[in-house]
Structure 1
Amino acid sequence: MKVNNEKSLRSFWPARHSTATGWRRPINKRVATTILFVFFIFLALFIVGCFDTYIFRVFSTPAPKKSEFPCTTGNLTQTCPEDYPSIHIPTNPSTVTCPSYFQWIHEDLRPWKETGITSDMIERARPTAHFRLVIVNGKAYVEKYTQSIQTRDKFTLWGILQLLRWYPGRLPDLELMFDCGDRPVVRSSDFQGPNASPPPLFRYCSDHQSLDIVFPDWSFWGWAEINVRPWKNVLKDIKEGNSRTKWKDRVPYAYWKGNPYVDPTRQDLLKCNVSDQNDWNARLYVQDWEQESKQGFKQSNLQDQCTHRYKIYIEGWAWSVSEKYILACDSMTLYVRPRYYDFYIRGMLPLQHYWPIRDDAKCSSLKFSVEWGNNHTQQAQAIGEAASNFIQEDLKMDYVYDYMYHILNEYAKLLKYKPRIPPGAVELCSESMACAVNGVQGKFMRESMVVYPSDTNPCTMPPPYDPSALAEFLNRKDTSIRQVEMWENEYWQKSK
């Protein structure tokens, strides 16, 4: 049996392994072969793993943060660079639902939901537009028509360019007209019936009789003329200012500071200032911007103006940029009944985020509101803090970009044609706009420039309002305002 086994083994292995001392070598070779086989398997897995990791990193991780403003790297011709990512896949996909005021995007675009938007409609928005914006393949092209007030158009375009850097390659092709003026011009009464085709026109505010599409204003990236920094920095400054003085230790009066000469309603407000004859619980100050400019805006720091328990918001010629700065203080905002609205205020509620003030009886209304607040300090403080929290959280810069993204994305879905670059348009990018700008404008552009893409997706759009839910929401606001007016009436009846 042993001989047969040996013959069998010899037939399988070469003669050199048939010695008595060599019987272990075939076993070593088999082990070695097995080890080699396993080694190559691990090597292959390692190579594949490295390749997968490389691909994952290339397409998923954030682009490297650029520590320098691009104009400092020798881009003297202000040409648009090719090194910034044209697309970026976030590693932290967002599942956060957008704040409730995003629902108004659906309402603002509703006039074109059935008909869509044609190139002819857009052309009819041109008479008052300051510029035409076209986005094709993720790049911005602009055709300017008239000069806007101050640098509104410049910083609005700058903000849109930062959006393209925040979400590179995410916006579809689109074309729009933008009016940087104060008051809306597309009257809804001029476009009635199922075949109405109003011109879509973007601007900073609108009212309930107009169809203008609201969009974040230029000051989110800085208001150079009055030295107001970009919003991201202002939010931090005001938050720090809020912490300096506790609410109960603040001056127990209503505070307002601004230019009263832009509209009669503000001049009417000045009648409520303290005098030898009356004290309406208001402390009002005229802001001389020319004099303030000469003094270096030392008395205009927004973080230094959260010193009173109550702050007054009142419109000027139209809606006022000051709204968000006032609401950001922990002070209870006394909100004089407005005519206009911007993109976020429709998500705020009277008695929850602000206290409504009558426009036709400002002084008596202010007097009562301060009396009520000083007698209900916990409730008044809670209203002020709710507004401040709303502004700090729901209006932070990330959500401003998300709002811009969603309204432009929803708007682009309505276009009935493929946008093309107009012959007279020029390509814009951050470098071509900012490299030649010095002074405060250049400083604010450097502060507000997006230097790397967002590593999260935009927040998730809430669905449109159900008609009954919208009616209930609006009724709730009206009921709160009527409640306050009833309290006022009772207060003054008792006083008499």
Structure 2
Amino acid sequence: MLIPLQPRGRSVTIGSVLFLILVAFFVLHSRNADDVVNYVLKRPASECVQQPHTEPLPPPSSAETKDGSWEFVPARDAEDYGLSQEQCRIAFPKLFVEIEKSVAARKDKPITAKELNSKKVGEGMVRAVVHQGELYVVDFNYNPVTYSRGRATLSAIYRALRAVPNRHDLPSAEFIFMTEDYAPSWPGPIFAYSKRDSEENVWLMPDFAYWSWPEVNVGPYWDIRRRIVAVDDGIAIDGKLQRGIDFQRKKKQLFWRGTTATAPELRGQLMKMTEKKSWASVHAIDWNNEDHLRKEVISMEDHCRYMFLMHTEGRSFSGRGKYLQNCRSVMVAHKLEWREIHHGALVASGPEANFVEVERDFSDLEDKMKYLIDHPEVAERIAQNSVHTFRDRYLTPAAEACYWRELIAQYASVCDFEPKVYSDIRAKKLRGLPFESWSLTPADFPY
């Protein structure tokens, strides 16, 4: 039996009307979100800070984990976004140091809804809710410079949640994060890509480039890791087999390219201490001079052709750091003030050293460089330690996903409220957009 179809014009008209109604629904409920009670106190509030939440995810299902026999194998597990909580703890015992510090700071002072609402979400900030393992975007305050960072960060959270089968067991949490290099002065808790030790209100989160960093032509994180391995070890890239470069055949120089504008005193001192040194290839970049850029700028993976790579902070952290630590090269860094999620695994001395630390004024840089060049076996051991620690473990996609789930669970454990997803549950009015819907909205969507 044939069912008569409606005329095409009528279908389009009905569809258009329904679409306009849906858009109006989201706009109205979003604008009225501040006029309703969006939170429910946990029962009882005091219990949420007695012990950190330690079981947001189900136990490992793999037979390999029985009796504690599971072991992280980089070739198999490095890109597994869905490791269980137990597996995450086994694989990355030093990864959650900063989360534990933040939890300890709030042990006797639970985070309240009033505290979270103490200041309006400003430019470059995003407010989100994780409820029963689903991600909702409540507010996205547009900033043209950092817009892609916000999208990347939300995408990474969504990926980490979706990777585990029982994500609904994660506790609900509402949080605000910053898309700038650091968090502003803020009375309540805020997530940020980097922090100083004194900033107890800041909770460290993975930076945006674990997703991608197209603005500096680095691209997806999984892809740059593959290209770095091709330089170091030799693999097929785009159908062409590349030969790896042995550590002792790398250029025996300290390499750095960048702008001094973001940290003129610090980076200016680096330029001064390396000027005309045979062991250094350190040049400032003039981003407005195309001829200069063609001469001085090299791809991120080609940094790995140098034996020594200089890492300096900028306005806060420097996003290139994790790329340098993926190389089988020696990362040299001044004493760092800005923390990142993987810094708990840094070791500056002894047989397990995985980088070389120098003074912030670089006064000991030349002596340490000469020692490393004269003792190539020491340099190679440090470089190999870096690969084992960072490329194969703490800077893997698996580690990033583990960190996101642990951050959400532990943050929720010191909140005394449960966020509401609906501003009006009877009318099914959502406070924010599900991530899947939000990801399809234009940049200037009216919240």
Q: Could you tell me the TM-score, scaled by structure 1's length?
A: 0.62
The equivalent residue for 2:98 is: 104
**Are 1:218 and 2:214 counterparts?**
no
Partner of 1:252, secondary structure, is strand
The equivalent residue for 1:13 is: none
Q: What amino acid maps onto 2:162 in structure 1?
A: R
Q: 1:234 to 1:114 in 2, by over 3 A?
A: same
- Is residue 253–residue 283 contact of structure 1 (8 Å, CA) maintained in 2? yes
Shift of 1:91: 4.3
From 130, 133, 152, the equivalent of 1:135 is 130
Q: 1:281 to 1:415 in 2, by over 3 A?
A: same
Which residues of structure 2 form unaligned runs of 5+? Answer: 1-18, 23-56, 66-83, 234-243, 424-429
Q: Deviations over 1:241-261 (max 9, x none)?
A: 123221211111111112222
The equivalent residue for 1:163 is: 160
Higher strand share: 2
Q: How far, CA to CA, are the matches of 1:339 and 1:88 in structure 2?
A: 36
Q: Deviations over 1:113-149 (max 9, x none)?
A: 1222110111125455701111223322221234263
Q: How far, CA to CA, are the matches of 1:131 and 1:292 in structure 2?
A: 35
The equivalent residue for 2:74 is: none
Q: Deviations over 1:169-211 (max 9, x none)?
A: 3422110111222234458xxxxxxxxxx62111001112211
Q: What amino acid maps onto 1:156 in structure 2?
A: T
The equivalent residue for 2:268 is: 267
The equivalent residue for 1:381 is: 380
The equivalent residue for 1:356 is: 357
Q: 1:141 to 1:408 in 2, by over 3 A?
A: same
Partner of 1:205, secondary structure, is coil
Q: 1:261 to 1:379 in 2, by over 3 A?
A: same
The equivalent residue for 1:201 is: 190
**Count of aligned residue pairs for this structure pair:** 338
The root-mean-square deviation of aligned C-alpha atoms, in Å, is 3.1
Q: How far, CA to CA, are the matches of 1:297 and 1:181 in structure 2?
A: 30
- Is residue 334–residue 360 contact of structure 2 (8 Å, CA) maintained in 1? yes
Q: Deviations over 1:395-454 (max 9, x none)?
A: 2101110011011111112221120137584323346526989xxxxxxxxxxxxxxxxx
Which residues of structure 1 form unaligned runs of 5+? Answer: 1-76, 80-86, 188-197, 438-496
Q: What amino acid maps onto 1:282 in structure 2?
A: A
The equivalent residue for 2:111 is: 117
Q: How far, CA to CA, are the matches of 1:125 and 1:354 in structure 2?
A: 40
Partner of 2:416, secondary structure, is coil
Q: Deviations over 1:282-311 (max 9, x none)?
A: 111334556679999995422111112111
State percent identity of aligned pairs: 20
Q: How far, CA to CA, are the matches of 2:404 and 2:289 in structure 1?
A: 35
The equivalent residue for 2:232 is: 242
The 10-residue stretch of structure 1 (103-112 or 428-437) with the greater mean CA deviation from structure 2: 428-437
The equivalent residue for 1:255 is: 255
Shift of 1:99: 2.8
Q: What amino acid maps onto 2:402 in structure 1?
A: D
The equivalent residue for 1:145 is: 141
The equivalent residue for 2:435 is: 429
- Is residue 325–residue 391 contact of structure 2 (8 Å, CA) maintained in 1? no
Q: How far, CA to CA, are the matches of 1:422 and 1:431 in structure 2?
A: 16
